[in-house]
Amino acid sequence: MSRERHKRAGCGADTCEVKSRLASFGAGFLLLAVASGCGGLQPQDAGQALREGGAAIAKLKTVKATLTFAKGTITFQTFSLVKAAAQLRLPLDSDTTYTVRQQDAQFALEIIISGGHVYLHLPFSGYNEVTGAEAAAIPDLAKLFDPLKGLPAVIPAGHSLKYLGAEQVDGVDSHKVQATYSPDQVHGMLPELTSAGNVDAVIWI
Protein backbone atom coordinates (compact mmCIF):
# COMPACT_ATOMS: atom_id res chain seq x y z
CA MET A 1 0.00 0.00 0.00
CA SER A 2 1.49 3.33 -0.99
CA ARG A 3 1.24 6.48 1.08
CA GLU A 4 1.98 9.99 -0.09
CA ARG A 5 2.56 13.15 1.92
CA HIS A 6 0.05 15.91 1.34
CA LYS A 7 1.34 19.40 1.86
CA ARG A 8 -0.47 22.32 3.40
CA ALA A 9 0.06 26.00 2.97
CA GLY A 10 -0.02 28.64 5.68
CA CYS A 11 -3.07 28.56 7.93
CA GLY A 12 -5.00 31.29 9.65
CA ALA A 13 -7.67 31.12 12.32
CA ASP A 14 -10.34 29.99 9.90
CA THR A 15 -8.54 29.35 6.62
CA CYS A 16 -6.41 26.41 5.57
CA GLU A 17 -5.24 24.75 2.38
CA VAL A 18 -5.94 21.04 2.32
CA LYS A 19 -4.54 18.78 -0.39
CA SER A 20 -5.93 15.26 -0.28
CA ARG A 21 -5.58 12.44 -2.76
CA LEU A 22 -8.17 9.76 -3.43
CA ALA A 23 -6.33 6.92 -5.13
CA SER A 24 -7.63 3.61 -6.44
CA PHE A 25 -7.69 0.88 -3.82
CA GLY A 26 -9.35 -2.38 -4.76
CA ALA A 27 -12.78 -1.48 -6.05
CA GLY A 28 -12.88 1.91 -4.35
CA PHE A 29 -10.75 4.68 -2.94
CA LEU A 30 -7.98 5.17 -0.44
CA LEU A 31 -7.89 8.38 1.57
CA LEU A 32 -4.15 8.76 1.99
CA ALA A 33 -3.76 11.87 4.07
CA VAL A 34 -5.39 15.00 5.34
CA ALA A 35 -3.47 17.96 6.72
CA SER A 36 -5.30 20.09 9.24
CA GLY A 37 -4.93 22.31 12.22
CA CYS A 38 -2.64 25.25 12.93
CA GLY A 39 -0.63 26.52 15.84
CA GLY A 40 2.07 25.24 18.18
CA LEU A 41 2.99 21.57 18.51
CA GLN A 42 2.46 19.90 21.90
CA PRO A 43 3.37 16.28 22.74
CA GLN A 44 0.24 14.13 22.81
CA ASP A 45 -1.11 10.67 22.04
CA ALA A 46 -2.65 9.68 18.71
CA GLY A 47 -6.27 9.93 19.88
CA GLN A 48 -5.81 13.43 21.26
CA ALA A 49 -4.05 14.55 18.08
CA LEU A 50 -6.96 13.31 15.94
CA ARG A 51 -9.54 14.97 18.20
CA GLU A 52 -7.70 18.29 17.98
CA GLY A 53 -7.32 17.89 14.21
CA GLY A 54 -11.04 17.24 13.77
CA ALA A 55 -11.89 20.24 15.95
CA ALA A 56 -9.54 22.47 13.92
CA ILE A 57 -11.15 21.42 10.62
CA ALA A 58 -14.63 22.09 12.05
CA LYS A 59 -13.66 25.75 12.59
CA LEU A 60 -12.56 26.37 9.01
CA LYS A 61 -14.58 28.85 6.96
CA THR A 62 -12.66 28.77 3.68
CA VAL A 63 -10.74 25.82 2.24
CA LYS A 64 -8.75 25.05 -0.89
CA ALA A 65 -8.83 21.33 -1.67
CA THR A 66 -7.37 19.21 -4.46
CA LEU A 67 -8.54 15.64 -5.07
CA THR A 68 -7.67 13.01 -7.67
CA PHE A 69 -10.17 10.27 -8.58
CA ALA A 70 -9.48 6.74 -9.77
CA LYS A 71 -10.11 6.34 -13.50
CA GLY A 72 -13.75 5.93 -14.48
CA THR A 73 -15.17 5.44 -10.99
CA ILE A 74 -17.14 8.70 -10.66
CA THR A 75 -19.13 10.08 -13.57
CA PHE A 76 -21.33 13.11 -14.21
CA GLN A 77 -23.56 13.16 -17.29
CA THR A 78 -21.22 11.66 -19.93
CA PHE A 79 -18.01 12.77 -18.19
CA SER A 80 -15.62 10.71 -16.06
CA LEU A 81 -14.06 12.77 -13.26
CA VAL A 82 -10.25 12.82 -13.17
CA LYS A 83 -9.34 15.62 -10.76
CA ALA A 84 -10.99 18.38 -8.75
CA ALA A 85 -9.56 21.69 -7.53
CA ALA A 86 -12.03 23.41 -5.21
CA GLN A 87 -12.33 26.67 -3.35
CA LEU A 88 -14.90 26.22 -0.61
CA ARG A 89 -16.69 28.79 1.49
CA LEU A 90 -18.21 26.62 4.17
CA PRO A 91 -20.72 25.34 4.88
CA LEU A 92 -22.54 25.40 1.53
CA ASP A 93 -20.77 27.33 -1.24
CA SER A 94 -18.08 26.00 -3.57
CA ASP A 95 -16.33 26.83 -6.84
CA THR A 96 -14.76 23.68 -8.28
CA THR A 97 -12.83 23.12 -11.49
CA TYR A 98 -13.06 19.48 -12.56
CA THR A 99 -10.71 17.86 -15.03
CA VAL A 100 -12.95 15.40 -16.88
CA ARG A 101 -12.58 12.80 -19.60
CA GLN A 102 -15.08 12.09 -22.37
CA GLN A 103 -14.01 9.23 -24.62
CA ASP A 104 -10.47 10.21 -25.69
CA ALA A 105 -10.78 13.92 -24.87
CA GLN A 106 -9.81 15.49 -21.55
CA PHE A 107 -10.74 19.04 -20.56
CA ALA A 108 -11.80 21.22 -17.62
CA LEU A 109 -15.27 22.32 -16.58
CA GLU A 110 -16.34 24.55 -13.70
CA ILE A 111 -19.16 23.91 -11.24
CA ILE A 112 -20.37 26.57 -8.81
CA ILE A 113 -22.68 25.67 -5.93
CA SER A 114 -24.14 28.72 -4.19
CA GLY A 115 -27.31 29.32 -2.23
CA GLY A 116 -28.61 25.85 -3.06
CA HIS A 117 -28.19 26.37 -6.82
CA VAL A 118 -25.76 24.47 -9.07
CA TYR A 119 -24.23 26.13 -12.13
CA LEU A 120 -22.25 24.35 -14.85
CA HIS A 121 -19.69 26.13 -17.04
CA LEU A 122 -18.60 24.05 -20.04
CA PRO A 123 -15.82 25.14 -22.42
CA PHE A 124 -16.95 27.72 -25.00
CA SER A 125 -20.29 28.28 -23.24
CA GLY A 126 -21.78 30.37 -20.46
CA TYR A 127 -22.97 29.38 -16.99
CA ASN A 128 -26.11 27.24 -16.99
CA GLU A 129 -28.06 26.13 -13.93
CA VAL A 130 -28.33 22.36 -13.43
CA THR A 131 -31.30 20.97 -11.50
CA GLY A 132 -32.88 17.71 -10.37
CA ALA A 133 -31.04 14.43 -10.78
CA GLU A 134 -28.23 16.04 -12.78
CA ALA A 135 -27.45 18.46 -9.96
CA ALA A 136 -27.66 15.69 -7.35
CA ALA A 137 -25.10 13.62 -9.30
CA ILE A 138 -22.40 16.27 -8.88
CA PRO A 139 -20.07 15.58 -5.91
CA ASP A 140 -20.41 18.42 -3.40
CA LEU A 141 -16.91 18.65 -1.92
CA ALA A 142 -18.12 20.99 0.84
CA LYS A 143 -19.76 17.92 2.42
CA LEU A 144 -16.28 16.59 3.22
CA PHE A 145 -16.08 19.32 5.88
CA ASP A 146 -19.54 18.85 7.38
CA PRO A 147 -19.02 18.89 11.19
CA LEU A 148 -21.44 15.99 11.76
CA LYS A 149 -20.64 13.62 8.86
CA GLY A 150 -17.44 14.89 7.23
CA LEU A 151 -13.76 14.97 8.17
CA PRO A 152 -14.28 16.79 11.52
CA ALA A 153 -16.39 13.86 12.76
CA VAL A 154 -14.66 10.98 10.96
CA ILE A 155 -11.00 11.81 11.67
CA PRO A 156 -11.31 11.42 15.49
CA ALA A 157 -13.33 8.19 15.03
CA GLY A 158 -10.49 6.16 13.51
CA HIS A 159 -9.31 2.92 15.12
CA SER A 160 -6.01 1.00 15.34
CA LEU A 161 -4.34 4.33 16.07
CA LYS A 162 -0.57 4.71 15.99
CA TYR A 163 1.42 7.85 16.73
CA LEU A 164 4.27 8.02 14.21
CA GLY A 165 6.07 11.04 15.66
CA ALA A 166 6.50 14.63 14.55
CA GLU A 167 7.45 15.91 11.09
CA GLN A 168 7.61 19.25 9.36
CA VAL A 169 5.07 19.89 6.60
CA ASP A 170 5.91 23.01 4.58
CA GLY A 171 8.02 24.19 7.49
CA VAL A 172 5.29 23.64 10.11
CA ASP A 173 5.79 21.13 12.94
CA SER A 174 3.04 18.51 12.68
CA HIS A 175 1.95 15.34 14.43
CA LYS A 176 1.96 12.27 12.19
CA VAL A 177 -0.74 9.72 13.03
CA GLN A 178 -1.83 6.46 11.41
CA ALA A 179 -5.48 5.43 11.68
CA THR A 180 -7.89 2.98 10.07
CA TYR A 181 -11.42 3.81 8.87
CA SER A 182 -14.28 1.56 7.79
CA PRO A 183 -15.91 1.64 4.33
CA ASP A 184 -19.07 3.05 5.94
CA GLN A 185 -17.11 5.93 7.47
CA VAL A 186 -15.57 6.80 4.09
CA HIS A 187 -18.88 6.51 2.22
CA GLY A 188 -20.67 8.58 4.86
CA MET A 189 -18.46 11.60 4.18
CA LEU A 190 -19.38 11.76 0.50
CA PRO A 191 -21.79 9.32 -1.20
CA GLU A 192 -19.53 9.09 -4.27
CA LEU A 193 -16.65 7.67 -2.21
CA THR A 194 -16.50 3.91 -1.79
CA SER A 195 -14.01 1.37 -0.50
CA ALA A 196 -13.91 -2.41 -0.77
CA GLY A 197 -12.34 -2.72 2.68
CA ASN A 198 -10.93 -0.81 5.63
CA VAL A 199 -8.97 2.31 4.73
CA ASP A 200 -5.56 3.06 6.26
CA ALA A 201 -4.79 6.78 6.50
CA VAL A 202 -1.67 8.69 7.45
CA ILE A 203 -2.63 12.10 8.80
CA TRP A 204 -0.45 15.14 9.48
CA ILE A 205 -1.99 17.46 12.10
Bond before 91 cis per omega within 30 degrees: yes
What pLDDT, on a 0 to 100 scale, did the predictor assign at position 121?
Answer: 92
Percent of the chain with pLDDT over 70: 75
pLDDT tens digits, one per residue of 43-56: 578 998 899 888 88
DSSP element (H, E) containing 30: strand 28-31
What pLDDT, on a 0 to 100 scale, did the predictor assign at position 139? 81
Using the predicted structure, report yes or no on whether residue 158 has a pLDDT greater than 80.
yes
Domains in the chain, ordered, with CATH?
A: 15-204 (2.50.20.20)
Helix, strand, coil % over all residues of the chain, rounded to 5: 20, 45, 40
Q: What does the pLDDT read at residue 95?
A: 94
The band of 82, judged by pLDDT with boundaries at 50, 70 and 90, is confident
| Gyration radius from the chain CA atoms | 17
CB atoms closer than 10 angstroms to residue 45: 12
